[in-house]
Amino acid sequence: MPDGTTVTISPSRTIAGIFARTDYARGVWQAPTGLEADPRASSGAELAISEAQHELLNPNGINVLRQPSGYGLRVWGARTLDGFGNSDRRYVPVRRLAGMVTRRLEAGLQWAVLEPNDVPLWVQLGHDTEAFLYALWRPSALLGTKPEQAFICCCGPPSHLSCAKMGRFRKAQVSSESHCSRYLIE
């Protein structure tokens, strides 16, 4: 506070600010944790979490604010409450990237809703989707040394050879691997 007094606030406000700062600076695919995830203007946590406590909490999807030696308060952990499963979607940046890709593709391809469902439409949908995914691949949001290792875009009838390998789909189907995830958007 300007007058030097301290106020205890909910950690969720602090975490939301750190998420927003990380999104802006590095992208939703980066974990908003570690030494860069400092709550600015914070004087500390009301309760100190030890390494032993953290080791019990983190696998269960509970992320903590910790103060590592030589540093101020930091966000330590980026898991969701799906921490018990073996799914890679238990990681915050993976879930956020998958959600962002889904929302952006849905919004960006709205122009095609009333278009005739034919080859020119499939080609354009594929082109637009690949361009979007390529733009994500460039800053390493999608894992792979080449775009074809990072994502597969398939737009067309299920009998199309590359589409048949990926299974059933409705509009456009994208299979992509992030730093620690695989997901499918239908």
- Cα separation, 91 vs 181, whole angstroms: 9
Percentages (nearest 5) of helix, strand, coil residues in the chain: 45, 10, 45
Query: What pLDDT is attached to residue 181?
Result: 33
Higher pLDDT, 4 or 28: 28
44 to each of 22, 62, 68, 160, 163, how far by Cα in Å? 20, 19, 11, 58, 53
148: nearest Cα among 161, 133, 126:
133
Backbone angles phi, psi at 84, to 5 degrees: -70, -30
pLDDT in tens, 21-55: 999 999 998 888 888 888 887 777 888 888 899 88
- Cα separation, 185 vs 132, whole angstroms: 14
Query: What pLDDT is attached to residue 153?
Result: 78
Query: What pLDDT is attached to residue 52?
Result: 92
- Cα separation, 132 vs 130, whole angstroms: 5
Query: What pLDDT is attached to residue 169?
Result: 31
Q: Is the pLDDT of residue 176 over 80?
A: no
**Are the beta carbons of 156 and 166 closer than 8 angstroms?**
no
pTM for this model (two decimals): 0.75
**Are the beta carbons of 135 and 129 closer than 8 angstroms?**
no
Alpha helices in the chain (DSSP H): 11-26, 51-57, 92-108, 119-137, 147-150, 161-166
Per-residue pLDDT band at 158 (split at 50, 70, 90): low
What single DSSP character describes residue 170? Answer: S
Query: What pLDDT is attached to residue 131?
Result: 93
- Cα separation, 74 vs 21, whole angstroms: 14
Q: Which amino acid would we find at residue 112?
A: A
